[in-house]
């Protein structure tokens, strides 16, 4: 009888622990908010809130549906691209889906600017790949590829690139390592880069 009671108690403990585990899993899943993807962006990756556009060093916040950019030392937000980037083509630009654990990545811009220098992908990917790669997904650690319905946009890629090079002087990406890793690799999200819900009203930018 005593053995039976011990077995019963053990079973109850296991069931209780299982229930707690399930609660934790449910909580994590429910916290994975899905955001509306803008029409110019790569295919949406579950949980992603921010895109980084390295060529113009600008972020896009899917939650607020706005761009966050640096102007005279201050991070500003706008529903549309600022006038200084008015000629930038969002539909053909390279976009990086940032780690879904990061919060307000522009507050840690030094990591993204050094890990994803402007036009870095032109040196990282071969000529045959650059016409098919749309961007990079930090969560899956692999590139985004153009969707079949968007392939026609690649027809103008080389022509647009030639025009772009005539309009501005492009400095080739620096070949350096970031924290021991080559450029183009996911930025490690440190604890201070995650959301602090107690201070989420301090967004570090202006409108």
In the chain, where are the structural domains located?
A: 1-31, 35-199
**Taking residues 180-207, what's their average pLDDT?**
74
**Taking residues 18-30, what's their average pLDDT?**
31
User: Shortest CA distance to 97 belongs to which of 170, 46, 131, 24?
Assistant: 46
Higher per-residue confidence, 16 vs 109:
109
pLDDT at 52: 98
Q: What is the model's pTM?
A: 0.71
**Taking residues 145-159, what's their average pLDDT?**
62
Higher per-residue confidence, 97 vs 123:
97
Averaged confidence pLDDT in the chain: 75
Q: What DSSP string runs through 112-151?
A: HHHHS-TTTHHHHS-HHHHTTEEEEETTTTEEEE--GGGG
Residue 71 to residue 61: CA distance in whole angstroms: 17
pLDDT at 164: 47
For residues 80, 86, 116 and 71, what is the CA-based torsion angle, rounded to 10 degrees? -70
């Amino acid at each position: 009888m005593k053995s039976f009671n011990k077995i019963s108690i053990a079973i109850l403990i296991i069931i209780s622990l299982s229930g707690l585990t399930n609660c934790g899993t449910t909580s994590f899943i429910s916290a994975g908010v899905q955001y509306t993807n803008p029409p110019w962006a790569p295919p949406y990756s579950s949980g992603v809130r921010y895109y980084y556009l390295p060529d113009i060093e600008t972020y896009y916040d899917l939650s607020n549906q706005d761009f966050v950019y640096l102007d005279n030392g201050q991070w500003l937000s706008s529903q549309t691209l600022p006038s200084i980037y008015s000629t930038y083509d969002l539909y053909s630009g390279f976009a990086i889906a940032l780690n879904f654990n990061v919060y307000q990545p522009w507050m840690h811009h030094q990591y993204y600017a050094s890990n994803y220098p402007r036009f870095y992908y032109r040196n990282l990917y071969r000529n045959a790949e650059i016409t098919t790669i749309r961007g990079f997904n930090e969560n899956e650690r692999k590139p985004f590829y153009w969707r079949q319905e968007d392939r026609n946009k690649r027809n103008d890629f080389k022509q647009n690139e030639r025009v772009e090079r005539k309009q501005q002087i492009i400095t080739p990406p620096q070949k350096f390592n970031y924290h021991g890793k080559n450029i183009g690799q996911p930025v490690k999200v440190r604890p201070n880069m995650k959301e602090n819900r107690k201070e989420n009203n301090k967004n570090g930018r202006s409108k």
